[in-house]
Structure 1
Amino acid sequence: MRLIGIEEHYLTTDVRDAWEAIGLAATDPSVAVHSGEVERRLLDLSDERLALMDETGLDVQVLSLTTPALHDLGRQGLELARRANDAVAEAIARRPDRFQTLAALPVGEPEAAALELERCVRTLGFKGTMLCGRVGERNLDHPDLAPIFEAAAALGAPILLHPRTPTIAVRSAYYSGFTPEVDAAFAMYALGWHYDAGIQFVRLMLSGIFDRLPGLQVILGHWGEIVLFYTERLAALDRVSGLEHPIATYLRRNLYVTASGMFSPDYLARAAAIVGPDRLLFSTDYPYQYRQGRDARRFLAGCGLSDMEKAAFAHGNWERLTNGSERPVLASS
């Protein structure tokens, strides 16, 4: 059974150097995570990556520029995005059987980002894009960023909504008071990243973006970035949101969910119950959650889905989403 991981990360030396040039590590501790063995694996798009894919049992990686991507790089982001996208396109051309990708976008320049997404999808054959939460002080539902979402909807290109580190003010209020190492981990991969991504998705729903762009498809990693575990409470927003549909409708119509290397049958069952088994996507979150010994294959084998649902989870749902066969949704009159 073909196994496609849709959240698998990379980095370029250009982007790494740009982060260093603006001193981004001083405000975003995730920059320091990309070092040593992790950095080496992120930078490699050839032999070592392919060998480790084979070792865990993954046939295809869908590559995405790792967080915080280009969100803090302003005007220079456009050139960096073009170079990163062209470099990944070359890697795919060498191994089209093993790699696909999501576009890196200069999100600080939304109009340019929309054009770059169109180039990547129409010319380079990319599958969608990945966004990493806030852009400066703007949440993703800010009107300035609308061109990116409008372009994605028009192109039928899904958006993977990836976590990023909360602002300094939020970290100080909620994730501080321990050692620097514990504070950073608490604010990032232990919890803070995931609340941040989930809140960005809820903000998009409450902004009415899925009423304006009913065909827009968003992907949340880590089994829904906590959102799916609070759907009963989120449903209370239906009384006050003014949206065209209940929250539950958007979760089943506009959201896909992926594992991000969290190989838990219990979490999978919860996600399937909320969004449906036709909206589950596989991923290993390479290189952050990488584990040896064909771990991906073992999880798929014992995940509790039927054979038909396993095939959809392993590759079929992603192929339907990105091959233009996602069920169309008509705009409301």
Structure 2
Amino acid sequence: MKLIAIEEHFLTSAVKNAWKKTADDDPTNKLHFGEIENRLEDIGNSRLQLMDETGIDVQVLSLTSPSLHNLGSESIGLARQTNDYIAEIVKKTPDRFQGFAALPMFAPKEAAKELERSVKNLGLKGAMLCGRTREKNVDHTDYWELFECAERLGIPLFIHPQIPQKAVRDIYYSGFDEWTDLAFSTFGLGWHYEAGIQFVRLVLAKVFDSFPNLQIILGHWGEVILFYTERLASLNRVTKLQKPFLDYVRQNLYVTPSGMFSQNYLQRSIEIMGTDRILFSSDYPYQYRPGREARNFLEATPLSKVDKEKFAFANWERLISTK
């Protein structure tokens, strides 16, 4: 059974050098060292061998967090350069790689233009966003042109975690040692609340009321929000949305495991959203573990053959076939 993993990351030296300008505000780059750094930068035989070892046939490549979100006007040219780079890799190995565009979110109109170019001219399958851009949340009206473009093109936007703002980190995620603070505010917990809240904001800002066919993807089994849908549904009492909150979850959201290979989380997601809105991912290289783990997780799921195919590749191919 074909297995397509849709949240698989890379990093270029040009982006890494640009990040150095924001290192004081965003310490995420400290997480990219050693074997992780080497695997992020390699999209060649070594990556293909590890894909084969874990049982993944296709990776959908995306620039790792925080992507270009913390950069200024230089992000416009860097986005074009990065997306051309992804497209060239896909062109050389189309049976093993697809790609998400990186966007210059500092310049919203340019972001919409770059999304259109990346999809129409380069054949990329959507875009990877990292939620907030500096102080501006993703639901800001400046980005509604981007949402219109994504809906019109029929492609998904993946909201990937990034580190919370420094003021938030100082209040909620500090007080220990440097590495504990960093881990707590990123992969320990902070990333996941940050990304989940961005989707909730899209709902509350009525983005999906204006763009009802816009499709969002969240990793890590929905970045916490699927486990609080009962509480989020209570927002119906005070909001003036066109539909109940849970309808937006079931009609505008897809979720993927990001290497959190938990049968319990899979079943919880299916109970809420159904088998048509689950996608597969391994969060390479961050969650890579040897031993055929990705393939083993798929094969161990108590799903029918049809539903396993949906999870493994069919839902993804249906999602991107509308463009």
TM range (shorter): over 0.9
Question: Unaligned 5+ residue runs, structure 1?
Answer: 326-333
Partner of 2:118: 120
How many angstroms apart in 2 are the aligned matches of 1:72 and 1:195? 19
- Counterpart of 2:104 in structure 1 is 106
Indicate whether 1:248 and 2:246 are aligned: yes
Name stretches of at least 5 consecutive residues in structure 2 with no aligned partner. none
- Provide the residue aligned with 1:5 in structure 2: 5
**Which deviations, in whole Å up to 9, do the C-alpha atoms of 1:36-80 show, x marking residues without a partner?**
211111111111110110010000000000000000111100110
Corresponding letter in the other structure for 2:264: D
Q: 1:81, 1:38 → 2: CA distance?
A: 22
Letter in 1 for 2:210: R
Q: Tell me the amino acid that sits aligned with residue 222 of structure 2.
A: G
SS of alignment partner, residue 64 of structure 1: strand
Alignment RMSD (CA, Å): 0.8
Q: Report the CA distance between 1:195 and its aligned residue.
A: 0.3
The aligned counterpart of 1:160 is: 158
Residue pair 1:71, 1:135 contacting (<8 A) in 2 also: yes
Answering whether residue 65 of structure 2 is matched by residue 67 of structure 1, we say yes
How far is 1:150 from its partner? 1.4
* 1:265-289 alpha-carbon deviations (Å, 9 max, x no partner): 0000001111111000000000000
Partner SS state of residue 310, structure 2: helix
Distance 2:81 2:309 in 1: 35
Which of 200, 203, 208 is matched with 1:202 structurally? 200
User: Residue 105 of structure 1 aligns to a residue in which SS?
Assistant: coil
C-alpha deviations, 1:126-161, integer Å up to 9, x for none?
A: 100010011111011111121211111111110000
Q: Which runs of 4+ in 1 moved over 4 A?
A: none
Deviation at 1:32, TM superposition (A): 1.0
3-state DSSP class of the match of 1:269?
helix
Secondary structure of 1:89's counterpart equals helix
* In structure 2, distance between residues paired with 1:247 and 1:69: 29
Shift, 1:88, TM fit: 1.0
Task: Tell me the SS of whatever aligns to 2:231.
Answer: helix
Partner of 2:231: 233
Question: How many residues are aligned here?
Answer: 323
Secondary structure of the equivalent of 2:139?
coil
Which one of the candidate residues 277, 280, 284 is aligned to 2:278?
280
Given the alignment of the two structures, is residue 54 of structure 1 paired with residue 52 of structure 2, yes or no? Answer: yes
| Residue pair 1:46, 1:91 contacting (<8 A) in 2 also | no
Task: Give the corresponding residue for 1:18.
Answer: 18
Give the residue type in structure 2 aligned to 1:289: Q
1:96 partner letter: P
